[in-house]
Amino acid sequence: MQLISTVEDLRTARRGLTGKAGFVPTMGALHQGHASLVRQSVAENDLTFVSIFVNPTQFGPNEDLDKYPRTFEADVALLESLGVDFLFAPNVADIYPKGEAQISFQIRDLDKVLCGASRPGHMNGVVQVVSILFHLVQPDKAYFGQKDYQQFLILKTMATELHMPVQVVPCPIVREPDGLAMSSRNRYLGREEREQALFLSRLIQAIQQQRGQWTSLAQIQEFAAAELSQYPLVRLDYLEVLDGRSLKPLHDLSPESHPHIFVAAFLGTTRLIDNAPLWNDR
């Protein structure tokens, strides 16, 4: 695996390469969810690029940029074992040479809900850095986990509308044996917080199990409030059921409407997200 730390070195390495290139952009602190993306890229492409870059433009002023976990040596060892060809690990000045970025993106409806609403500016920062990375790496396919479902949908739309020659590939959520969605932020959780974090996946499963009974989002939210009473350490950020294709509100919860469950919650200062289709056989 070749380690690249500057934009110029990446351009030099990329020049003249042939074959299909896969790309997995990350912020490091890698876990088996990331590994699943890398494995798929290695299996489907001639070359695989991974980036590790903790992007400051997608963090709000009171979020965890400074304490975001950084485990670079362990990340390198994992990526080498998975057969990655190139690791791009730039510093902030390489990606934003003028300091604060001067160009931003206007996202219309897709970032007005869920994490886009809860974290103003976050999705703009994601689009900003991924568009830069796509431009530099020039991948044929880029792989994103569906735990960040809204992010995936926005990036897929970006690539389509800007005619980028890259296929944005969705990959399934990877979970711990007890059902908790894998996340770099899980390591922040204390023992009791870790146990109560199961609220997210258990709530989704309970909603799915009763999927033929729901007649409205309000009914589901009332059910969630009752369930939440059993988890005193959990502070719910949002619970929504939206059209999984457009993130728009639904008039009914039938399979034909593609309802998708989204939940976010805080355990202390740690914010976790999860999601799944209501009709999970579709």
Cβ atoms 190, 269 nearer than 8 A: no
- Other C-beta atoms closer than 10 Å to the C-beta of 256 total 8
Q: Active site residue: 34, 135, 251, 260, which one?
A: 34
233 vs 104: CA distance, rounded Å: 37
CA separation, residue 4 to residues 68, 74, 263 (Å): 22, 17, 37
265 vs 237: CA distance, rounded Å: 5
- DSSP at 270: E
224 vs 207: CA distance, rounded Å: 9
Residue with tokens 């939440």: 228
The crossing angle, in degrees rounded to 10, of helices 7-14 and 122-137 is 40
> In sequence order, which residues have a C-beta less than 8 Å from that of residue 155 and are 6 or more positions away?
126, 127, 130, 142, 144, 168
Asked if 34 is an active-site residue, the reply is: yes
Q: Report the catalytic residues.
A: 34
